[in-house]
Amino acid sequence: MYNRHVFYHPLGGDTAKDPLIFGEGRDPQDWPNVTLSNDARWLSIIVAQGWTKTELFLQDVQTGAPAIRISTGKDFLYFAEPYDGDLYILTNEDGPHFRVFKTPVTAPAREHWREIIPQSDAVLSSLHIIGGQTFRPLRVERALRWLKRFTTDGKPLGEVELPTLGTIVNIGGEYDSTSAFYVFTSFTVPATIYRFDIQTAKSTLWDSVPTGIDTNQVRDPAGVVHLEGRHSGADVPCPAQGTEAHRPQPGHADRLWRLQRQPDAGIQQGAVSVAGSRRRVRHGQPARRLRIR
């Protein structure tokens, strides 16, 4: 698919009249995605250019000024989320395991970025701001083994205790939530949703997928999976494989941001809806949803 553009759409309005926000004159293979700040003013535009490079743009929705580029054209990955007047940037720039920078939305140029979470031996696979805290899952040897919490200034708040060694598939929550939700799974644990209470720092079971399998008969010593009574011969090593966590694009406020592929020769125009996580905002606006057409 080519020629992906960003449009502004007031809810209930005529989509044929939506003004173009971003994408005019860009490479047809650019792939923009958007994230809106909790105060509904700042729009972060993350433009994928293949699998190993993204560019960052920021737009002041209140003034309607054109989006400005804040990355510098280097061949790195950048992801950004605006929150409470600051921009939180996750990148592998000069740090292959990824690190986190923070900068005011009013001074987003690269020279103003301040590192708040340095890279470590583990790979920082994503960043989520939930309940005024940052959550970051860490991946080691293709398995997500830790989920750590930080203040928005990068001060450590501790780890989220997980049931066992396994993979965090997804993390969700609102900017002003009192809870975060995450999906955990492993070779011996089916997909299970846990609720993490931010105030008590405790996880409780929310829901799980019934399997009909007695996991007490499954043992996993040193990364080796063995089903008792169902396997003959030597144990077979099965390294845990993790799936990089991804936060759905957030819905927000009283408008609809729409990503639309422009008609092109030989390409039929179609529509598909992408469900995004809904966020509540502080000013009582109804929700907004992100849709790809």
75 and 178 inside one domain: no
Categorize the per-residue pLDDT at 140 as very low, low, confident or very high, splitting at 50, 70 and 90. low
153-210 pLDDT, tens digit per residue, is 999 999 999 888 888 888 999 888 999 999 999 888 889 999 999 999 999 999 998 8
Write down the pLDDT at residue 210: 84
pLDDT tier, 218 (very low <50, low <70, confident <90, very high otherwise)? low
Q: Rounded to whole angstroms, how far apart are CA atoms 21 and 8? A: 6
For position 63, what pLDDT does the model report? 92
* Mean pLDDT, the chain, whole residue set: 77
Strand runs (DSSP E) across 75-153, as ranges? Answer: 78-83, 86-91, 99-104, 114-117, 123-124, 128-130, 133-140, 143-150
12 and 120 within one domain = yes
Host H or E run for residue 203: strand 202-208
One domain for residues 21 and 134:
no
Looking at 212, 229, 259, the residue that finishes a domain is 212
Please check the confidence at residue 148 and state whether its pLDDT lies above 60. yes
HEC string of 223-256 equals HEEEECCCCCCCCEECCCCCCCCCCCCCECCCEE
pLDDT of residue 214: 74
Q: Has residue 33 got a pLDDT over 90?
A: yes
Residue 233: per-residue pLDDT: 37
Does residue 180 share a domain with residue 78? no
Residues 23 and 100 in one domain: yes
Q: Does the pLDDT at position 110 exceed 90?
A: yes
Count of the separate structural domains present in the chain: 2
pLDDT of residue 61 exceeding 80: yes
Boundaries of domain holding 81: 1-126+247-293
Query: What's the confidence (pLDDT) of residue 138?
Result: 64
15: domain CATH number is: 2.130.10.120
* % of the chain surpassing 90 pLDDT: 52
pLDDT for residue 261 is more than 60: no
pLDDT band at 216; cut points 50, 70, 90: low
**pLDDT band at residue 136 under the 50/70/90 scheme:** confident
Residue 228 lies in a domain: no
- The pLDDT of residue 2: 84
Tell whether the torsion through CA atoms of 68, 106, 40 and 156 is positive or negative: positive
Q: Which residues contact 222 (CB under 8 A, 6 or more apart)?
A: none
Give yes or no: residues 108 and 149 share one domain: no
Say yes or no to pLDDT of 9 above 60.
yes
Based on the fold, state whether residues 66 and 162 are members of the same structural domain. Answer: no
Q: State which of 193, 212, 231 marks the end of a domain.
A: 212
Confidence of residue 86 (pLDDT cuts 50, 70, 90): very high
Exposure string for 79-115, b = 16+ CB within 10 A, e = fewer:
bbbbbeebbbbbbbbeeeebbbbbbebeebeeeebee
